[in-house]
Amino acid sequence: MKSELYDKLGAKQGVNKIAHHFYVNFLKDDLLRPFFENIDLKQQERKMNAFLTYAFGGNSLYTGKTLRRAHTSLVEDQGLSALHFDAMIACMTMTLKEEGTSEDLIKEVIAILEYQRNNILGT
């Protein structure tokens, strides 16, 4: 059950910490950083936190844009591709490991993110 994942990740405080740490790592990645040159990172972190909270079962209501809609211009105008998605997955994996997350929970998180690959890339 997804809500169990949310709780196992530390609920609100844990997911907030993961979202923040994710963007710290994300911005260190030369392949990913250019997508965020002119982005309000505080706002982006809030969006990611809301999505992760929803995806991990912490809230049954997500009011943000669909993942496809949120990423369409990145795909069409900036060339967001599977290579970038793979780098994002690696970044999230590193974040979770640095947060001391167990391998089993990391696998659950990555499976949830992988499930969204086609929505994000529009494939």
pLDDT digits (tens, 9 = 90+) for 6-37: 999 999 999 999 999 999 999 999 999 999 88
79: its two tokens: 């060339």
Q: What is the C-alpha to C-alpha distance for residues 12 and 69, in angstroms, rounded to an integer?
A: 26
pTM, two decimals, is 0.89
Domain that holds residue 92: 2-121
pLDDT digits (tens, 9 = 90+) for 31-88: 999 998 888 989 989 888 988 998 899 986 777 788 889 889 999 999 999 999 999 9
Total structural domains within the chain: 1
Specify whether the backbone of 56 is left (phi greater than 0), alpha (psi in -120 to 50) or beta: alpha
The domain that holds 6 is classified in CATH as 1.10.490.10
